[in-house]
Structure 1
């Protein structure tokens, strides 16, 4: 189903457009959830810690081309709002070659630099082999992740958020089945978990690409669109560069936090690895609502619907805040049972570490919910540099405070720093919008 977000009731359309995105990303998390559950249950907490460290690194690397795709999505939505379909098709061609070229270069670089990367992360010697094995296999799926996210961003930009859900559903199921087969039947260990994820990633990427080529002829580029246009490439760079930097800075900050967590040893690493999976799963709905909001803003910005833009910002903030509070309450109450899904009951210290994280950081999801809205807003009104500024404020403060508090309060100092960074960035983002609203939404 395709949604024209320049028309109709704002609240209803935003929610309906975001629901498939939420369901799709929840399914995508099954890639990581399946690895975490099966690895922790059938291999052990050391393997769980290794997967956790690898996950932080992989998230940072994939954020680069995901950020590029998100920037392209905003530009495509603006073209659609302006009804410039020929320009939209040329933008698709240019952005495809840009994103895939960067992904290939990045893949080569990480393979060449695997040992320095592991050294930087301060991986304990006991976890070094498992982490390296997992990463060497999981890196081979980067091209698939880039292709899937590129096609998904095109579909979402033109108002189709439902189709990616189907492909993720199939690939998530395949991931879980292959995890069980490779680890339990063939005893392939942590490498089997990585291989299952990579196979599932390629299935979803190839499937959604074939769908786009067959069923989206209205947006399919033709030969006449395959020529170099410096102006289009410049606009793609303008929108994508800051979004890419914003995503990369955000995940580099998380990587630095992971490095600090690793210094506390295997127990904290394992607790953090499981808790982050729960955490990511919990706030995915508000993250995807922010991405849906970004498409809404971009389409209406392109169509010059000033009044609708202002109303949408107010409505989206209220909806996101309410939903975030509900999520926080659920995570706070069920923190221990959720941790015990990933960690065996006798590993009390690991469970306690994860519960502390969830009850401190998870109580303030309203902060990250509003921050996702601000990212989407500024990315879609030709101010992507503001998203980068907000990320630097949020993550910069988080890293600085975590490294300052950790020697005093231990791991609790790391967890406390996270919501502080969110709320200070939110305050700055909304203050800037209110002060410059007349010029931001002309």
Structure 2
């Protein structure tokens, strides 16, 4: 590995707090861009196409989160393997991971695209999507399925680069994607000149085009800059199903993917409950979740940063830095998430008014926020702790913790509260589930055996010095 690249991407030396912030900021800004993009699209749809169209996108977006969860585990496992390899100075193994995991992503993306396009109406009906939103949601979802390969591809390349210690480059190309999506959305929704007015389907078309262009530009850039993880003709032997890496991706990636599937399926079960209260409640919940997505961004950014930093230091055998990474991650996340929660509370009605015109929906959204937003601070701490634990390859206990807090606590509790006390009581399932999750996560971090876990059977070569 070249010394210049090592100096630019190594996370095994220097002040941990500074490393975390500098690595997390591009991730956070990328999350902001993605959510801002979704928010602007939601504003166009909610204000100009009506509550039914907005409810349709809420249902469809939950399905897309579910689909991204299917490959999240493989991507995270590949990210951790690459980060450990970079920390250990093993460039060859890093390229082996890239070649093998790339085949995984392509195969999964093609399979899901075909099945999803065919069964979109059945999936939405199974979620009890409101009848007035079903046709909108079907059109939107089918087009998104067509662009799934580009979406998966971009996320794969982004996670690989972050595992190598580079969070800045993916952010620059995310700027391209976001700009295109924002510009193209009103063009395809309302039409202009030779471009027909496609309504809600136009929003999906804009997203697909933006993802495709950004992915192509990113790949071209990496090859022109001769990124050390690019696969050249000489590296073609790495593009195969390596048995050892496949075993690691499956053993470690599947539980991490299942963890995200538990999150996404619980969200589907929750919105299924909210749908039973009608389109106004669904729209209010969708708007509240748009805002909560911003609240979760620091946790996701810091959580991703601590996972990569910890994995590189695990590869280098620097365990003192692993534990310091955990503490610094929790502190930074607490301050950043707390600040955003306070900001939303100050402008609750105004923020919801960006998405909703119906005053009844705004009132419901305000009640949702007043009960749930503060609990996302607890969610952030859990996300950081789990990120460090997963960096070693310990994945089963975080999976169990997520399952217990969501499917054994939040979902049964939400259905019970809705039946006994009505819609307003449902939202209390959020802070209760998050509180249980943080207690379980911290207990495992303090007393568990996660430090002894391994990603591969062979131990990474420790970095010199």
Aligning the two structures, in what range does the TM-score lie when normalised by the shorter sequence? Answer: over 0.9
Q: Does the residue aligned with 1:218 lie in a helix, a strand or coil?
A: coil
What is the Cα deviation at residue 227 of structure 1? 4.2
Instruction: Answer whether contact 1:6 1:299 (CA < 8 A) is retained.
Output: yes
Whole-angstrom distance in 2 between the partners of 1:392 and 1:149: 25
Gap regions ≥5 residues in structure 2: 455-465
- 1:248 equivalent to 2:261? Answer yes
Instruction: Answer whether contact 2:389 2:450 (CA < 8 A) is retained.
Output: no
What is the Cα deviation at residue 225 of structure 1? 2.2
Name the CA shift for 1:383/1:321 in 2 (closer, same or farther; >3 Å): same
- 1:12-56 deviations in whole A, cap 9, x for unaligned? 110111000111121112331122010111111111111111111
Whole-angstrom distance in 2 between the partners of 1:367 and 1:225: 41
**1:51 aligns to what?**
57
**1:431 aligns to what?**
443
Instruction: Answer whether contact 2:79 2:162 (CA < 8 A) is retained.
Output: yes
The match for 1:390 among 401, 412, 434 is: 401
Whole-angstrom distance in 1 between the partners of 2:451 and 2:124: 46
Instruction: Answer whether contact 2:333 2:381 (CA < 8 A) is retained.
Output: yes
**Alignment map for 1:130-141 (pairs within 5 Å):** 130-141=136-147
Instruction: Answer whether contact 1:69 1:240 (CA < 8 A) is retained.
Output: yes
Would you identify which runs of 4 or more consecutive aligned residues in structure 1 move more than 6 Å? none
Higher mean alpha-carbon deviation, 215-224 vs 357-366, is at: 215-224
What is the Cα deviation at residue 439 of structure 1? 4.8
What is the Cα deviation at residue 303 of structure 1? 0.9
**2:459 aligns to what?**
none
- 1:287-332 deviations in whole A, cap 9, x for unaligned? 1110011001101111111111112212211221222222221122
- 1:421 equivalent to 2:427? Answer no
Whole-angstrom distance in 2 between the partners of 1:334 and 1:40: 19
What is the Cα deviation at residue 217 of structure 1? 3.4
The match for 2:39 among 25, 33, 44 is: 33
Whole-angstrom distance in 2 between the partners of 1:390 and 1:216: 41
What is the Cα deviation at residue 389 of structure 1? 1.5
Whole-angstrom distance in 2 between the partners of 1:79 and 1:288: 22
- 1:265 equivalent to 2:287? Answer no
- 1:19 equivalent to 2:32? Answer no
- 1:318 equivalent to 2:331? Answer yes
**1:366 aligns to what?**
377
Higher mean alpha-carbon deviation, 319-328 vs 153-162, is at: 319-328
Higher mean alpha-carbon deviation, 419-428 vs 104-113, is at: 104-113
Instruction: Answer whether contact 1:148 1:209 (CA < 8 A) is retained.
Output: no
- 1:378-432 deviations in whole A, cap 9, x for unaligned? 2111201222112212221211111111112322232110121111011011111
- 1:346-391 deviations in whole A, cap 9, x for unaligned? x100111111111211122211101211221221112012221122
**1:381 aligns to what?**
392
Gap regions ≥5 residues in structure 1: none
How many residues end up aligned between the 2 structures? 440
What is the Cα deviation at residue 220 of structure 1? 2.0
Name the CA shift for 1:227/1:272 in 2 (closer, same or farther; >3 Å): closer
Whole-angstrom distance in 1 between the partners of 2:223 and 2:423: 49
Q: Does the residue aligned with 1:342 lie in a helix, a strand or coil?
A: coil
Whole-angstrom distance in 2 between the partners of 1:429 and 1:93: 33
Instruction: Answer whether contact 1:25 1:284 (CA < 8 A) is retained.
Output: yes
Name the CA shift for 1:89/1:360 in 2 (closer, same or farther; >3 Å): same
What is the Cα deviation at residue 438 of structure 1? 8.6
Whole-angstrom distance in 2 between the partners of 1:440 and 1:232: 19
**Alignment map for 1:157-306 (pairs within 5 Å):** 157-185=163-191, 186-221=196-231, 222-306=235-319
Whole-angstrom distance in 1 between the partners of 2:393 and 2:376: 27
Name the CA shift for 1:184/1:228 in 2 (closer, same or farther; >3 Å): closer
The match for 1:73 among 71, 74, 79 is: 79
Instruction: Answer whether contact 1:374 1:387 (CA < 8 A) is retained.
Output: no
Whole-angstrom distance in 1 between the partners of 2:29 and 2:208: 21
Q: Does the residue aligned with 1:362 lie in a helix, a strand or coil?
A: helix
Name the CA shift for 1:242/1:363 in 2 (closer, same or farther; >3 Å): same
Q: Does the residue aligned with 2:252 lie in a helix, a strand or coil?
A: helix
Q: Does the residue aligned with 1:113 lie in a helix, a strand or coil?
A: helix
**1:309 aligns to what?**
322
What is the Cα deviation at residue 440 of structure 1? 4.6
Name the CA shift for 1:71/1:410 in 2 (closer, same or farther; >3 Å): farther
Whole-angstrom distance in 1 between the partners of 2:67 and 2:32: 20
Whole-angstrom distance in 2 between the partners of 1:89 and 1:163: 19
- 1:131-157 deviations in whole A, cap 9, x for unaligned? 111111111121111100110011101
Whole-angstrom distance in 2 between the partners of 1:420 and 1:210: 47
**1:408 aligns to what?**
420
Whole-angstrom distance in 2 between the partners of 1:257 and 1:215: 45
